[in-house]
Structures are given as structure tokens and as C-alpha cells.
């Protein structure tokens, strides 16, 4: 009865949301192309897979790759099917998993889930972070699959909602062989919402195992020609409200410090909006999409990174960086990538989605928490004018990342146990 009620409520929610999906789909080209696949309709032939990894979007795809690489090192014959929910996640997954089957996560209707399982035939299911879907869980379990939740976290915002449906979650989480979480707070929270304490294991945060790919020579040449030896400030994964705060500061910052700025909005739909904000602020900017192969003539003080999956590479140019989603109350983003790149890192006060990572960096004096755009300006000024202080922050950031590595290997080992 519980699952029947869920299916009815899911169907009603789907019908209510359908007009919005259609409108946005037609306006922005989103949702509609992957709609049939999410309903379980595939053009490819059915195939057996060993492991199904679900990574909802870009951050989860990066974490999934860290784990998958270690699985494939020890078990090269592993056949992967990787799913995402977002288009940006799908784009990155196709690039990150060239030898895997990459597709969209099915809608959580029984018929769509059953079609997915029949088509891809996985033996083990690993969901990254906290993607808990009732029908995916119960139908995968009914098929005899082994289930594991990796890099689990429960945010401050999600915890009250999960508490309200604890009886349901207890039944769902009870089907997982293991729930691997990032820290003790997450462990306590999973137990609080119904997980079996004996199956919740603290293994650390997979994202600390981040490995940079070499900078592509073409991109490197283009950016070096554009930067022209100046020090670089990167504002990464910015959200609505932050670009509006940061852009008015850039013209004076660039004039005072003779620096180069790279701004990377989190969502593709913000690219045009941020271009307008930068133009209104009077900055001399160029879009990443306007840089052409072999171009050495472009001149600008600001680069608008209107691309997907390049931000981690871009951080390698930064003397100072700001991790977005944190000056506004959206939960923040991952500071590990800029720290691992050797950039001095700052973020705002709203880091609930990366609570333990932010606390770790602050505890190690390896990042600065800024409470306003003015404090961010002061941080950038300090890092770009005091080379000794910048290098100290850089060294502490890299040391903090290195000290906390190992979760990806531990997670891969647990998944490999289920693949036997």
C-alpha cells in the first residue's frame, strides 16, 4: 500500500509539473530530448552490465569517476552503465566515461524502472550522495541486485523533510547492503532517518581524491595569450544573486591590481544573464565560446566561462578563487578543486551542502570565509598583493586535500565486494 500511494502521488506531481516541463522544454531545448529515455524507451540493443552508477549532476559525476577509475584498475572487465538526471551531468558523463553506457536516470515510475532494469540488466546499483528513489530501490532489490549508497550526505535543509517520512525511508534504506557516508554527522543523520546503524559506514569524502587532468594544450595556449602574465582571480559556480554582487567590483579590482578575472556561472541558463551583467558593469569581457583555435589576438580583462566541465581545469590558473553558491543561501559548492589546484580559496557563509569540507578547510586555516562582496574584494586584494600569504594559503589548501584522501579507494573496495 505504501508504494501504491507513492506511485499515485508521483503521478499527480508529474501531471502538475508537465506543462512547466513542456514550456521550458520548448523555450530552452531542455527535458524533451531525453523524455522517452527517462520513460524507459531505448533505441540501443539490451545489454548486460555489472554496475549501475547513478550520479545526478556534474559534482556527482566527478565523484563517480573517482570511484569508477579505482574499480576499473582492479577489475578492468567491469561493464558500467552510468545515469545522470541533468543535461550538464550527462554531457560530462559522456566525456568522463567513454567506454561505459551513459544514459538518463529513469523517472521513478514502476514501468519506467522495470524497462530500465530489463534493458541494461545491472547486477549492482551504486547511487552517489543522497539520491533515494523508492521504486528504483524496491525493483532493483526485487531483481536480486546488490545496492550501495556512496558518499552519502544529508544536508541541514533536507534533514527535517527526511525526518517526516522516516517510516518510509526505514523500509527503503533497509534494502541497501551498505551506506557509505562522509563524516560522523552524516552517519548520525542516516541512522536518525531510519538506516540500520550496522550498515552505515564512515569512509570520508570521495571528492578529496580529486585528480586534475592535464591542461589541454590548445586551451592552455588560448588562455595564456588572453591572461598575458597577469595574476588570475576565478569566481566559480556562481549562482543568481552572486554575479550581481561581484560584477560591480571587477572594474576597480582589475584597475587596482592589473589582474585577470574568470567568472563561471553554475548553470548554462545563466550564461546570457551574466553576459548582460558584465556588460552593464562596464567590464571588458570575452566568452569562452568566442575563443577560437590558434587565436592570439583576443584582448579582454574578464573571461565568461560559458562551457561545461572546464572549471576544474580553469582553477589551475587561479592565484585566488571564490566558490559560489555560498554568498546566497543555496548551500555552496565544492572548494576541493581550487584548493587542489593551489589557489587561495574563499567561500561565503552558506556552505551547508559542503558542511564538513568547509569546516575542514577553515579548521586548517586553508580557506577564508567571506560574508559579503566587499569582504571578497578584500580577500582577492590581499592574495594578489601579498605573494607570501597567498603561497601559505596555497600550501595549506593542498596539504588539507592530501591529508583527507582515500575515500574513493575505500568506496571502490566496498563496491568490488558486491561484484564478486
The residues assigned a catalytic role are 60
Q: How far apart are CA 101 and CA 81, in angstroms?
A: 5
What is the per-residue burial (b if ≥16 Cβ within 10 Å, else e) of 239-278? bbebbbbbbebbbebbeebebbbbbbbbebebbeebbebb
- Taking only Cα atoms into account, the Rg of the chain, rounded to an integer number of angstroms, comes to 22
Q: Which of 311, 112, 154 is nearest to 219 (CA)?
A: 311
Which residue's C-alpha cell is 592570439?
296
- 3-state DSSP: the chain helix, strand, coil percent, rounded to 5? 55, 15, 35
Q: Which of 349, 352, 342 is nearest to 370 (CA)?
A: 349
Cβ atoms of 418 and 385 closer than 8 Å:
no
- Please give the order of strands across the beta sheet that includes 344-347: 285-287, 302-304, 260-265, 232-238, 320-323, 344-347, 367-369
Q: In degrees, to the nearest 5, what angle opens at C-alpha 117 toward C-alphas 35 and 14?
A: 35
Q: In degrees, to the nearest 5, what angle opens at C-alpha 272 toward C-alphas 285 and 331?
A: 100
All cell numbers assigned to 66 = 573517482
Q: In degrees, to the nearest 5, what angle opens at C-alpha 279 toward C-alphas 270 and 219?
A: 65
Half-sphere exposure of 76 (CA within 13 A, CB side): 1
Q: How far apart are CA 247 and CA 279, in angstroms?
A: 9
Amino acid at each position: 500500500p505504501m508504494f501504491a500511494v507513492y506511485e499515485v502521488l508521483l503521478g499527480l506531481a508529474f501531471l502538475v509539473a508537465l506543462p512547466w516541463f513542456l514550456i521550458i522544454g520548448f523555450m530552452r531545448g531542455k527535458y524533451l530530448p531525453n523524455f522517452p529515455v527517462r520513460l524507459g524507451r531505448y533505441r540501443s540493443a539490451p545489454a548486460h552490465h555489472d554496475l549501475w552508477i547513478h550520479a545526478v549532476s556534474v559534482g556527482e559525476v566527478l565523484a563517480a569517476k573517482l570511484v569508477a577509475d579505482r574499480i576499473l584498475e582492479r577489475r578492468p572487465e567491469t561493464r558500467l552503465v552510468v545515469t545522470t538526471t541533468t543535461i550538464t551531468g550527462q554531457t560530462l558523463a559522456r566525456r568522463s566515461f567513454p567506454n561505459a553506457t551513459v544514459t538518463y536516470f529513469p523517472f521513478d515510475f514502476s514501468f519506467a524502472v522495470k524497462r530500465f532494469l530489463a534493458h541494461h540488466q545491472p547486477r549492482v546499483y551504486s547511487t552517489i550522495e543522497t539520491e533515494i528513489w523508492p521504486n528504483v530501490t524496491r525493483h532493483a532489490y526485487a531483481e536480486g541486485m546488490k545496492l550501495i549508497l556512496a558518499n552519502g550526505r544529508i544536508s541541514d535543509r533536507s534533514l527535517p523533510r527526511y525526518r517526516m517520512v522516516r517510516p518510509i525511508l526505514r523500509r527503503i534504506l533497509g534494502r541497501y547492503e551498505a551506506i557509505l557516508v562522509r563524516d560522523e554527522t552524516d552517519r548520525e543523520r542516516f541512522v536518525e532517518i531510519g538506516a540500520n546503524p550496522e550498515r552505515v559506514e564512515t569512509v570520508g569524502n570521495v571528492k578529496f581524491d580529486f585528480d586534475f587532468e592535464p591542461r589541454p594544450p590548445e586551451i592552455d595556449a588560448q588562455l595564456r595569450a588572453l591572461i598575458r602574465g597577469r595574476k588570475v582571480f576565478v569566481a566559480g559556480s556562481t549562482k543568481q544573486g552572486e554575479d550581481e554582487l561581484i560584477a560591480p567590483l571587477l572594474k576597480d579590482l582589475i584597475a587596482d591590481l592589473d589582474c585577470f578575472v574568470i567568472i563561471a556561472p553554475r548553470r548554462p541558463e545563466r550564461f546570457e544573464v551574466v553576459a548582460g551583467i558584465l556588460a552593464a558593469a562596464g567590464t571588458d569581457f570575452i566568452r569562452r565560446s568566442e575563443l577560437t583555435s590558434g587565436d592570439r589576438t583576443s584582448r579582454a580583462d574578464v573571461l565568461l566561462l560559458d562551457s561545461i566541465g572546464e572549471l576544474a581545469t580553469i582553477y589551475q590558473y587561479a592565484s585566488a578563487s571564490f566558490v559560489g553558491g555560498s554568498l546566497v543561501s543555496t548551500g555552496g559548492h565544492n572548494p576541493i578543486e581550487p584548493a587542489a589546484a593551489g589557489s587561495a580559496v574563499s567561500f561565503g557563509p552558506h556552505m551547508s551542502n559542503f558542511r564538513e569540507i568547509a569546516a575542514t578547510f577553515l579548521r586548517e586555516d586553508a580557506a577564508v570565509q567571506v560574508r559579503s562582496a566587499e569582504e571578497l574584494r578584500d580577500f582577492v586584494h590581499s592574495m594578489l598583493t601579498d605573494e607570501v600569504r597567498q603561497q601559505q594559503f596555497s600550501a595549506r589548501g593542498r596539504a588539507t586535500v592530501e591529508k583527507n584522501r582515500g575515500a574513493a579507494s575505500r568506496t571502490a573496495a566496498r563496491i568490488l565486494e558486491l561484484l564478486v
